[in-house]
Amino acid sequence: MLWNTFKVAVLLAPIVDAADKGFVPLVKKRIDWNNIPYKVDTDVGLARGAQLGYNICNATTEGPKSLCQTAYINSLDDFCIWAPPEPGQTVGDIEGEMVAWCSKPGHGTRVMPEGTLTGVQLTRTPDYIQVVGFMNQTKIDMVHGDAGGEMDPHGADLRGNPLGGILFSNSFTGSYEQVIEWHNFNGNDYFCLKACDPSRPNGPQMCQHIYDTQGCGFNAPSNAKDGVFESCAGDSQNPPGVGPPVVPKSSQCSQFKSTDIYGGGTTVPIPGASTMTFSATPTAEIVKPTTSGSTSGTKSGASASTPTETGGAAGKMGVSTGALTLLGVGSLFIFSL
């Protein structure tokens, strides 16, 4: 019992400490697309250190070394997922430091190399937009055979995974708006990213973040097929954890050649969005302000200490108990948020 009490105190300490300093959880931060800060996470002195990358991203930051942590999901030809900034570490070890890898240039991020995506289904439903697909994960610096894990705007310390990682979409209204609730699972050459419509009240339920060991089949069931690239309308799934996972019905599916949409210049319309006028990503270069000291307390390969593992690590089994998650470690049990 003494050991359990000690572990609870250790796990809760960063959160209590953060609250004392006026800490704002990532999911509570509201970011205007025209006024994105250089770094969304500006907290200092916390257990996982500083945000690795930055959120103002443009032509000056785009490329294979980009540390952009602003991601997008707009259409079949235009979306990003979170992946490592450097090869050699598993998702569970580096989820707090993930950077945006996008399917096309123009967002100031890293761009997925040719051949990364081998099959993708985009589905637009009344409650969310999601991409699910197959990939060669080593092309985006993931370890071969890594079963992966979950990224979301929560995390055990409420700073998100990655720290400061934000997501935008123009698929709901035609203009870019921040997606508040989302989840992204990557691993075993498979991925899914679901972005819940911020105008809908059920975002926290549809984009649950507590089933981090269950993967895409549970959290984002779909009809994605390797070798097929299609954009569909669809029904919304049952919220993860409500009944068995069932692939929802899809319709209005249009298929494309990967060479046409990834590097070929074809823009894929969103089913049901033909009346929208879409905003474009700004092209003006924004000079990043200089910062003193290291840009991150958690950068992979840096002298800073390794970040503490959070709730999205692959292989960690959790049982939901309301606001807490009970984690089994051998014959011991500890609590984490």
Share of the chain above pLDDT 70, in %: 74
Nearest Cα neighbor of 318 from 89, 142, 132, 156 is: 156
What is the band of 266 on the pLDDT scale with cuts at 50, 70, 90?
A: confident
In this prediction, residue 302 carries a pLDDT of: 33
Residue 175 has pLDDT above 50, yes or no: yes
Q: What would the pLDDT profile of 36-70 be if each residue is shown by its tens digit? A: 999 999 999 999 999 999 999 999 999 999 999 99
pLDDT interval class at 263 (50, 70, 90): confident
Mean per-residue pLDDT, 271-288: 44
Using the predicted structure, report yes or no on whether residue 333 has a pLDDT greater than 70: no
SS3 string, 30-79, reads CCCHHHCCCCCCCCCCCCCCCCCCECCCCCCCCCCCCCECEEEEEECCEE
314 and 67 Cβ atoms separated by less than 8 Å: no
Distance between CA atoms of residues 325 and 248, nearest Å: 28
Tell me: cis bond preceding 201? Omega within 30 of 0 counts. no
Question: How many helices and strands in the chain, by DSSP H and E?
Answer: 5, 16
Instruction: State the pLDDT at residue 309.
Output: 32
Nearest CA to 185 among 217, 229, 140? 217
- For residues 300-322, give the mean pLDDT: 31
Percent above pLDDT 90 for the chain: 67
**Which ranges in the chain belong to alpha helices (H)?**
2-20, 91-94, 203-206, 216-219, 258-261
Provide the pairing of β-strand 332-336 with 324-329. antiparallel
Over 90: is that where the pLDDT of 165 sits?
A: yes
pLDDT, tens only, 73-118: 999 999 999 999 999 999 999 999 999 999 999 999 999 999 999 9
* Dihedral class, residue 217 (left if φ above 0, else alpha if ψ from -120 to 50, else beta): alpha
Spatial separation of the C-alpha atoms in residues 192 and 172, rounded to whole Å? 19
Q: What is the model's pLDDT at position 8?
A: 38
pLDDT of residue 13 exceeding 50, the answer is: no
